[in-house]
Amino acid sequence: MDIFDRLKAAAAADWTSYVEHDFVRQMGDGSLPEAAFRTYLVQDYLFLIQFARAYALATYKSRTLADMRAAKAGLATILDVEMELHVRLCERWGLSAAQLEATPEHRATVAYTRFVLDCGVSGDLLDLHVALAPCVVGYAEIADRLARALGPALANHPYRDWIGEYAAAPYQQVAHDARRHLDSLAARAMTEARFSELAALFGQAARLEADFWQMGLEGAQARR
């Protein structure tokens, strides 16, 4: 059991509320209203801007070149892969990258991203990566589970682009590398006495992830 699995087990209820949220379930079975996905996707673009800042902060907090390279890889994934996916999908609704960037941040977006940045500013590199892990690794787990459940049906699924992107080998490798790097940081900086603090931090990040999904569902209801 690596440190990620230990954290997930310690915050099991919070993790379940995130990865098995109604938003995820509805996305998997194709019943998620487009308005919910659109609300989520636009806010997730803004979310990624702040997460890019978090990885830039991780570079500053790094004490080794290996840690710096890991932060650089995370930043590149956000700026060159994930944000491009969001722009491509939002173009279907006539939304440009400039319009996305000009959209006001929802309270759920602010709450989650500033929590992660605060963990990085007030804590060390391990604190920051524990706060980042539910998003980075969680998306890989969710997408892989949905893709496996859908099988060939994914080809005609309304959310095949999102599921396919995060279930594909390149992003799965990103998540794998993030877990391995988290293990390395824990080996250097974690004591058993500190584990409970990290688990609480991890659980809070998972709860904020669930709140982010909920924002999408409530956004769809507001559009009715």
- Catalytic, 119? Answer no
Single-letter residue type at 127? D
**CB-CB contact of 105 with 86 (8 Å):** no
Q: Which one from 82, 135, 141, 165 is the annotated catalytic residue?
A: 135
The CA radius of gyration of the chain, in Å to the nearest whole number, is 17
Q: Which residue has the tokens 């999102």?
A: 162
CB neighbour list of residue 64: distance below 8 Å, 6 or more residues apart: none
- Catalytic, 90? Answer no
Q: Which one from 82, 141, 165, 209 is the annotated catalytic residue?
A: 209
Phi, then psi, of 63 in degrees rounded to 5: -110, -5
Q: Report d(CA 207, CA 147) in Å as an integer.
A: 24
- Which long-range contacts does 62-68 make (Cβ < 8 Å, 24+ apart)? 62/125, 63/125, 66/184, 67/125, 67/181, 67/185
How many Å from the N-terminal Cα to the C-terminal Cα in the chain? Answer: 45
Angle at 162 between CA 81 and CA 99, to 5 degrees: 65
Active site residues per annotation: 135, 209
